Each structure stands twice: as C-alpha cells, then as structure tokens.
Structure 1
Amino acid sequence: MHENNNRYVILTGGPGAGKTTLIAALKQRGYATAPEAGRAIIQNYQAIEGPALPWRDRGLFAELMLSWELRSYGAAAEQEGTVFFDRGVPDVLGYLDLVGLPVPEHAKRAAELYRYHRTVFILPPWPEIFAQDAQRKQTLEEAGQTCDALAKAYAQAGYALTEVPRGTVAQRTDFILANLGA
C-alpha cells in the first residue's frame, strides 16, 4: 500500500445520514471539497435515460463511480490544505460487495494506490433525517446495510473509522475538525 494522503479526508456512510450537508458546511468554512459520485451519476443518467443506474446495471454504475472517484482524487491535488470527500474509492468496493458483485482486481488496486487520511468519518443511518427521493430509492433498512458494507470495506482497506455522532450540523462539523486537530 502507498502512503496515506493526510490532506484527503473521507466522509462515508449509508444514504441519507447527512454526509452531503456536512460537506457543504465544511465548504462554507473554507475547506476544499469533492462531491459524491453516485448521486451525480444517477442524476446525469436519469436525464439522458442511460444504462448506468443502480437499478439497471450495477456493474456499469460501479465503474462510473470508480472513474469519478479517481478523477476527484486527482483534482484534489490542485487544492490547498485539507480536502473533504463525499465518499471515496473504497466506497465502490463496499457497494460491489453489498450488491453481490465481485470486486474486480483493478478496483482493488485503486483502493491500494489512491489512499486517503487514515481516519475515515462514518455517518450511520439516522431515521429522523433519512428521506427517499428521485435518486435515493433505498429504504432505511438498506441504508443500514450500505453503512455496514462500507464500514467493512474501509476496515479491510486499512482505515480507522470514527463515527460522527448525531447533532446539529455545526456540532458534527466541529466534531470532524476537532478529531483532525484542525
């Protein structure tokens, strides 16, 4: 494995746990951010009625997520200071495991080569803020299963998971920054 890039910090977890809201709050505080791949891919492929949707072609969807994460990783090099990622390369491995697809060797290599800060912040399901929409079709139970699969993927990739407690957006943002010593 390559050395971790301590400037690149991941927020992960199941859908509807508040990751994107926290990424936006970190951006408001002046930090560089990288958006979530899955939601953007779903929005784009719904708009063009394309095949790379998790309910049409899970393997193709995973490949596009991997491509997006690799691009986001490369683009982060142009940013100063800490960059917060709304998911990362190991999320793709967790997704593939969750949906019962084999993890291809090139995806495993990507997780080995593209390293992030050793501490990964995980947001578990939060029923009070969870909501389905046109891109988020999972149930709350599926969100929990997703969170578990992602936790397993990150642990297997050698990251230390830190659970972000429930609270206001400001409290959660402060928790993340305090745990990084920022």
Structure 2
Amino acid sequence: MDRFVVISGCSGGGKSTLLAELARRGCAVVEEPGRRIVSEQLLSGGSALPWLDLAAFARRAIALALDDRAAARQHSGWVFFDRGLIDAVAALASAMATPLDRAFCDAHRYNRRVFLTPPWPEIYAGDAERRHDFSVALAEYDRLRDAYPALGYEVTILPKVSVSARADIVLGTLAEEGM
C-alpha cells in the first residue's frame, strides 16, 4: 500500500525513537514486531527468540507483520511501520540460508520509499530485548540495505541528526515525492 511506509535499518539506529516522534506529530505508527515477540516469549518462557531460534522468531514476525498490515488498513493517511514484513522475510531467509521470497514480498508491498537508519555506534545500546552485539546489528543492516532495493524499493538512508530533523526529512521526502 502506498500509504504504508517502512522505517528500517540498523538495530539501535534510532528507529523506535523516530517512530515515537512521528506519533507525537499525529502520524499512525506500528511498533516493531520483533520487540513485541521477544517480550511475549520472555514472559512465557518461549524459545522463538532471535538468539535461540531465529527461524521460529522470523516466522512469528512474518505472521505478526501480516496482522499489523491488516489492522493498519483502518487508518487513513500515512502509517509508519517500525520494521515490518520485509525485515522478517529477510531474517527468515538468512536463518534458512535461502533467497528472499520475492513473490511473497511482492504480494505485500509497502510504499516504494523506505527509510533506513544507518549504524550509529554512539547511540547503540543492548537491553533485555536486544541481546546481540553491534557486529550482529551491522550484518542485519547490510542484509536489509541490500534486500529492499533488490525488491524494487527506493531507499533513503537517514542522516545521523536529531530525531526532529529525521522526522522532518521523512515527512518532507514523502511530500516532495507527492506521496
């Protein structure tokens, strides 16, 4: 859908903070599937965690991203996704050492413009839900930076500037492109 916009990129690169700023400005936002899954799995003692079973985690993230897309249809105007389906499909492909499922991704398109937060070691921090180190975050970023263009998306890499400036860039870019 043209009004579904993905904010993706490096883990710990400021995506969630940017989404919070977009929400503060009145935009509809969808939380990252991965963090919700990790919280639920930690509470329930489950094993669908990226550090235990990446494939199971990615399959859950795909299902949740599909549910998120269906629920987002109720919103009018822009809907900004903190990661989403493509990120989950890329994680599953990596876990299974298989190519991206292009047909599946093409059947569930987002806006052609995708915004990536680059690696930003100065703000990267681990926590209970982000247990991987920065090298894992870099590898994930490289996969996503390659996956989105391979699927026909146009990528804008956001500069390392204030969250307000990043939100201005996202909204300004979409406005300039007549979206």
| TM value normalised by structure 2 | 0.93
* Secondary structure of residue in 1 paired with 2:45: coil
Residue 165 of structure 2 corresponds to 171
* Secondary structure of residue in 1 paired with 2:128: coil
1:39 and 1:27 map into 2 onto residues whose CA distance is 18
Structural RMSD (CA): 1.5
* Secondary structure of residue in 2 paired with 1:24: helix
Residues 93 and 153 of structure 1 are in contact (CA less than 8 Å); yes or no, is this contact kept in structure 2? Answer: no
1:76 and 1:46 map into 2 onto residues whose CA distance is 26
1:47 and 1:110 map into 2 onto residues whose CA distance is 31
* Secondary structure of residue in 1 paired with 2:12: coil
**How far 1:103 sits from its partner (Å)?**
5.1
Residue 122 of structure 2 corresponds to 128
Residue 17 of structure 2 corresponds to 21
Residues 14 and 146 of structure 1 are in contact (CA less than 8 Å); yes or no, is this contact kept in structure 2? Answer: yes
Amino acid at match of 1:164: L
Find out whether 1:31 has 2:51 as its counterpart: no
Residue 87 of structure 1 corresponds to 83
2:64 and 2:104 map into 1 onto residues whose CA distance is 12
Find out whether 1:149 has 2:143 as its counterpart: yes
Residues 51 and 57 of structure 1 are in contact (CA less than 8 Å); yes or no, is this contact kept in structure 2? Answer: yes
Residue 112 of structure 1 corresponds to 106
**How far 1:112 sits from its partner (Å)?**
1.2
The unaligned stretches of length 5 or more in structure 1 are none
Residues 96 and 103 of structure 1 are in contact (CA less than 8 Å); yes or no, is this contact kept in structure 2? Answer: no
Find out whether 1:75 has 2:71 as its counterpart: yes
Residue 6 of structure 2 corresponds to 10
Once the two structures are aligned, what percentage of the paired residues are identical?
38
Residue 53 of structure 1 corresponds to 49
* Secondary structure of residue in 2 paired with 1:181: helix
**How far 1:94 sits from its partner (Å)?**
2.1
